[in-house]
Structure 1
Amino acid sequence: MDMSQKIVWNGYSTLVGAVAALVTKKAVDGAWTFVTGEEPPEPNDPATPTSHAAIWVLAMALGVGLSQVLINRFAARRWEAFTGSASPLRHVNMRF
């Protein structure tokens, strides 16, 4: 992949990631309100019960993690369809 493709990929993935972050925040907020009937807690507020703060953090982490996997896969497929070449994500080997 040449330098111009890397620059375009970085811009594209940043834009898609920013939109995904906004959508994920709205989705997790909405899910919390739907399930609990309350507004999402502020986990850093000392008045928020620790259990609510911990559950909120776990829900947000799950939402962000799932969103990241889905959006990375989407971005890679769209990149490959548009350019005809493998996305930079295919070249990253992140096995744990």
Structure 2
Amino acid sequence: MADKGELGWRLTAGAAAFAGGFVAKKVITMAWKKSTGKEPPTNPESPDVALAEAIGWAVMMGVGMEVARLLATRAVAHQWAKGTGAPPSHFKVEG
């Protein structure tokens, strides 16, 4: 079973990733509307959505969400290290 520090890290990182994903979806949707002038596809799998539009939306969402998750987790890891004096236990420093 994970110790309290590990559990605290998992909960904190999970909450940050969730919040980052929520904000990222809003920002990506807004950027899509601004760049294309229309709403993003609600169901990109539908044959009624043009293939180029479906792929564009999938790429934009996939990359955007992963970048948001990465940035949120890194920010939380930095704050975790400042607060505890050590990085989360599963982070390895390579060099």
Q: TM-score range by the shorter chain?
A: 0.7 to 0.9
Q: Which runs of 5+ in 1 are unaligned?
A: none
Amino acid at match of 2:56: I
Task: State TM-score, norm by structure 1.
Answer: 0.85
Separation (CA, whole Å) in 1 of partners of 2:79 and 2:73: 10
- Report how far residue 67 of structure 1 moved: 1.1
Match in the other structure for 1:52: 53
Q: Percent identity?
A: 26
More helix as a share of residues = 1
Separation (CA, whole Å) in 2 of partners of 1:88 and 1:34: 42
The structure-2 alpha-carbon separation of the partners of 1:32 and 1:70, relative to structure 1 and needing over 3 Å to count, comes to: same
Match in the other structure for 2:24: 24
Q: Which runs of 5+ in 2 are unaligned?
A: none
1:14-93 paired onto structure 2 within 5 Å: 14-41=14-41, 42-88=43-89, 90-91=91-92
- Report how far residue 92 of structure 1 moved: 8.2
Aligned residues: 92
